[in-house]
Amino acid sequence: MSTGSSFSSETATSGRAAGTGGINTYKGEERALRANRLGTPGLLLSVVAASAPLMVVAGVMPTVFGVMGIVGQPLLYLILGAVLMLFGAGYAEMSRHVHNAGAFYAYIARGLGPTAGAGASLVALVAYSAMQVGIYGILGFEVSGIFATYLDIELVWWVPALVSAAVVAVLGWLKIDLNAKVLGVLLVIECALVVIFDIAAVSEPGPEGLSLHAFDPDTLVGAGLGTALCFCVAAFVGFEQAPVYAEETSRPQVVVSRVMFLAVGYAALFLAVSSWALTVAAGPGSIAGTALEQGPGMLFGLTEERLGSTFTDVLHILFVTGMFAALLSFHNVVARYAFAMGREGLLPARFGRTNRASGAPGTGSLLQSAVSVVVILAFAAADDRPVGDPTVPVLRLFTWMGNVGALGVILLMAAASFAVIAFFVKRGAGRAQAPRLAASALAGLALLSIAVLTVRDFDVLVGSGPGSALTWLLPGVIALALVGGLVHGAVLRSVRPEAHARIGLGNEAFQLEKAAGNETVRR
């Protein structure tokens, strides 16, 4: 075995790679994620939970209606659903050939080369980490409000945020199938409550009646369309995470692609109907003004008018638990990206090992927990406003981090679309693959356009105003991650070419290593 390999001789002799009849172990830890932990229901619940449907309905939709003035939000979700279905056509086909917890970066590495994959790996790690940490801000703020409203207790937002981080850290250390059950219960309940509101809104419409005006293409015209696209794409985030769990999924060639299409279809339908129900309840002509005035409180106000205060109180609690489900889902994804990167030499080898008891990527989980605590404490230290002021936890932590993460994911999806094309062209794709490759090209161009609009209007996204340094500092976080990853990949190519060649291979790298070791023994 070459001394330049990214895998130590200790690892190679400690066991067999997953998929070759056994599991590599190292000092009580495993070198592969546990297979057959998730089926279609568990995987679907895990990825859909990341989109936090109730958080989108209560938080994102009023922002798009009010701040951006886009009444045609329901139509926008249907259009984006079609774009993401095009993206999924190639992405899902790729998932049949590549099973790697590194998902985005693994696909990009296999299509556009290992150095590009290294760049994408750091972008993915930063983007998903930012989205996860940002949610702690709005969750802490909402819990603080619940304590003030129902218990008459003043509680600073960062206390519940830190408590939530501790609970997520514990769950992230446990088995993924247990996590899926927690996510599933929370997700099913919150979606059921939103559906009940939708039915109530349609049954008891506002002053303009049962109007379909929100589906008129003319309602998409407006200066805020670019920023609305970013917000609405972020509402779909989660479906693309399905390949991250491929190594832990039964029959990944079938289940992963099935879950992606189910997740996109569900999200497009759920979000379009729910946003339309809001326009029906408030009236298309007044929805923008109502949303601008009431913000997230709009949903709860419309609900109380139709379903009473008890139902609204339950909905408010589920608003918080839905955000917790999203936190756990993103935490699991970041931990698995860190695991994949550690396994392939992009992070220290310690990250490429899992807990022997649970099969969870423990070191990656600890890393994300540590990052979360540090960021929460940093924003808490900068918050000198009264208790209950949303500026720091919501308008800064949640908004800044959420939009940085959304930009990173949009760019990753665009790059993955072109990587799919390159991957199948290299393999001699024939006519059978042509429709999928065409769909990937269209999706890639559409996603790049959305990314350009997002960067152009970033001042609106983060509420900083024109000329603010934040308009380039925040997108610069993703640019810096990309450059750092590319430089790291180039250095690996020069210093450790064998490690560089294994980027994106995942468990296949261990199989190659094992085969090479056996061949050496035979000789």
For residue 269, the number of C-alpha atoms closer than 13 Å in the C-beta half-sphere is 8
Enclosing H/E stretch for 440: helix 434-456
Query: Shortest CA distance to 407 belongs to which of 455, 368, 464, 468?
Result: 455
Q: Can you read off the two tokens belonging to residue 314?
A: 């339950």
Separation CA 50–CA 69 (nearest Å): 26
Please list the residues that pair with 38 across neighbouring strands: 249
Query: Shortest CA distance to 96 belongs to which of 231, 259, 229?
Result: 259
Torsion over CA of 31, 36, 40 and 43, rounded to 10 degrees? Answer: -30
- Contact status, residue 120 vs residue 415, Cβ threshold 8 Å: yes
Single-letter residue type at 33: L
Separation CA 410–CA 405 (nearest Å): 9
- Contact status, residue 40 vs residue 369, Cβ threshold 8 Å: no
What Å distances lie between residue 118 and 96, 399, 476, CA to CA?
A: 22, 27, 18
Question: Hey, is 184 helix, strand or coil?
Answer: helix
Rounded to 5 degrees, φ, ψ at 64 are -65, -40
Q: b or e along 274-291 (b: 16 or more beta carbons within 10 Å of the residue's beta carbon)?
A: bbbbbbbbbbbeebbebb
- Contact status, residue 370 vs residue 331, Cβ threshold 8 Å: no
Those residues with Cβ within 8 angstroms of residue 73's Cβ, 6 or more apart along the chain or in another chain: 61, 64, 65, 214, 228, 232, 275, 279
Task: Give me the average pLDDT of each 10-residue run along the chain (523 residues).
Answer: 34 34 42 65 77 86 85 93 92 83 86 96 96 94 91 94 94 67 77 94 93 91 76 85 76 83 92 96 92 87 94 90 86 89 90 75 90 97 91 89 92 95 85 86 94 84 78 93 97 93 76 49 38
Those residues with Cβ within 8 angstroms of residue 192's Cβ, 6 or more apart along the chain or in another chain: none
Position 179 scores a pLDDT of 60
